Amino acid sequence: MSLDDHAEDLASDLGVDKEEVKEDLENLVSYSVPMDEAKQSLRRKYGDGSEGGGAAPSEADIADIETDDGNVTVTATVLTKGKRSIRYQGENNVIYEGRLADGTGVIDYTAWTDVDFEPGDTVTLGNAGVREWEGEPELNVGESTTVAHADEDLDVGYEVGGDADLIDVQVGDRGVNVAARVVEVETRTIDGRDGETEILSGVLGDETGRLPFTDWDPHPAIEEGAALRIENAYVREYRGVPSVNVSEFSRVDALARAVDVSAAAPRMDAGEAIRSGGVYDVAVVGNVIAVRDGSGLIQRCPECGRVIQKGQCRTHGDVDGEDDLRVKAIVDDGTGAVTAVLDEGLTEEVYGGDVDDAREQAREAMDQEVVADTIREKVVGREYRVRGHLSVDEYGANLDATEFERTDDDPADKATALIEEVGA
């Protein structure tokens, strides 16, 4: 539903001029007030006596809620409840958010004030607003929403509480709890909304995988090697992968036990990894079907590091480019294709030489493309195991490689391996 449609609805409900309502609505929405809240506040402003706008919304199953539903009444079990602060109309506001489930499905919610429910409670939310977030419906628990505790628990088939293994953590999760080891951590100074502040950033690991994290309000317990339980974290996308965000409201405790961090990256099919929308540390095994343009000997802008063409940086214009080596190899495993991006070190290994060797080869051939051609001859048609950070965007899936190794793809060896596997 467009803002115009919302304005028209509201104007006809309230019997007032549409343009006037629309202007108010635009104003509120421009301050990031959710549409439902904005409409409620205009109902109050224009004196709609029937709070909530006429008939109470009907009871809905979560699976049936659609993004263009106005308000709904839902009976559901609270799975998670996270707390964090957001900047809203120039001020810091504390919000509560998490996930609800009934027998038909799950839905995320945001509450703009503290709400009288905790994970595990089964509640009926009366007159909850529905808004769209990244294409999915989400519930908005506002001033006009009623909360009634149900006597009976629902059979929801989802685990209550936000405990998650790192491999299962997804962008958009709130109220998440992880038990993990701090694999890497560094203190950074950022220019935050309240001036310069120190934050922590690094990598967490558990038995299932690794993820980057940021602690916006440094907790002393977060030290390299520490085994921790972190409660009430939220998950954002950072460079295409899920990142665990720890805030002033998160609880960080030392674990009495050690946490094993798997040395191996989780192996996934390319198709599965791409569908997941991004994985911080993943291994894919597939055949190199092509080496893309922009591989081999390349030049980067000394200012911004971006690859330049004919001495021209898109941002910095005419620059004196710096030579570098890179490979962008398309790796396909039959379920999908990713572009493995190899840095200078990994490129040196597959090329069998460094940037000086590449320059020399290019000079002799009077063509720098020969470096990419040499790499093509070595890798195309062969099977590789690529490990790294997978990010997915509208242009495709990039696997920023930390490892790029030939698998043992000698046909005879493969046959032997297969026989052993069958025999085992």
Residue 90 has phi, psi (to 5 degrees) of 80, 0
Distance from C-alpha of 141 to C-alpha of 122, rounded to nearest angstrom: 15
Instruction: Write each residue from 165 to 204 as x if it is in contact with Zn ion (CB under 5 A), else as -, in one continuous string.
Output: ----------------------------------------
SS3 content of the chain, % helix, strand, coil (to 5): 20, 40, 35
Look at residues 187, 179, 177 and name the one whose alpha carbon lies nearest to residue 220.
Answer: 187
Contacts of 140 (CB under 8 A, 6+ apart): 34, 36, 37, 109, 110, 112, 128, 129, 130, 131
Give yes or no for residue 298 binding Zn ion (CB under 5 A). Answer: no
Residue choice 118, 315, 349, 418 for contact with Zn ion (CB under 5 A): 315
Smallest gap from Cβ 298 to Zn ion, in A, equals 14
Distance from C-alpha of 119 to C-alpha of 159, rounded to nearest angstrom: 10
Q: Is-contact 307 322, C-beta < 8 A?
A: no
List beta partners, residue 233.
Answer: 176
Give yes or no for residue 327 binding Zn ion (CB under 5 A). Answer: no
The interface region with Zn ion, picked from 131-139, 167-175, 306-314, 373-381 by CB under 5 A, is 306-314
Residue choice 42, 125, 179, 301 for contact with Zn ion (CB under 5 A): 301
Residue 218 has phi, psi (to 5 degrees) of -40, 120
Smallest gap from Cβ 302 to Zn ion, in A, equals 8
Encoded tokens for 71? 């308000």
The interface region with Zn ion, picked from 22-30, 40-48, 307-315, 372-380 by CB under 5 A, is 307-315
Look at residues 113, 26, 128 and name the one whose alpha carbon lies nearest to residue 75.
Answer: 128
The interface region with Zn ion, picked from 84-92, 262-270, 282-290, 314-322 by CB under 5 A, is 314-322
Instruction: Write each residue from 99 to 138 as x if it is in contact with Zn ion (CB under 5 A), else as -, in one continuous string.
Output: ----------------------------------------
Give yes or no for residue 303 binding Zn ion (CB under 5 A). Answer: yes
Smallest gap from Cβ 306 to Zn ion, in A, equals 5
Smallest gap from Cβ 315 to Zn ion, in A, equals 4
Distance from C-alpha of 196 to C-alpha of 189, rounded to nearest angstrom: 6
Question: No. of H helices and E strands in the chain?
Answer: 8, 22
Smallest gap from Cβ 326 to Zn ion, in A, equals 16
Instruction: Write each residue from 48 to 67 as x if it is in contact with Zn ion (CB under 5 A), else as -, in one continuous string.
Output: --------------------
CA 296 to chain centre: 31
Residue closer to Zn ion (CB basis): 44 or 316: 316
Distance from C-alpha of 325 to C-alpha of 345, rounded to nearest angstrom: 8
Distance from C-alpha of 297 to C-alpha of 308, rounded to nearest angstrom: 12
Encoded tokens for 215? 């602690």
Instruction: Write each residue from 243 to 282 as x if it is in contact with Zn ion (CB under 5 A), else as -, in one continuous string.
Output: ----------------------------------------
Site size for Zn ion, by CB under 5 A? 6
Residue closer to Zn ion (CB basis): 42 or 301: 301
Give yes or no for residue 313 binding Zn ion (CB under 5 A). Answer: yes
Residue closer to Zn ion (CB basis): 315 or 416: 315
Pairing between strand 146-149 and 195-205? unpaired
Distance from C-alpha of 369 to C-alpha of 362, rounded to nearest angstrom: 7
Residue closer to Zn ion (CB basis): 279 or 301: 301
Residue closer to Zn ion (CB basis): 251 or 316: 316
Residue choice 316, 363, 382, 414 for contact with Zn ion (CB under 5 A): 316
Look at residues 68, 59, 220, 227 and name the one whose alpha carbon lies nearest to residue 146.
Answer: 59
Smallest gap from Cβ 308 to Zn ion, in A, equals 7
Give yes or no for residue 304 binding Zn ion (CB under 5 A). Answer: yes
Which residues in 329-348 contact Zn ion (CB under 5 A)? Answer: none
Residues making contact with Zn ion (CB under 5 A): 301, 303-304, 313, 315-316
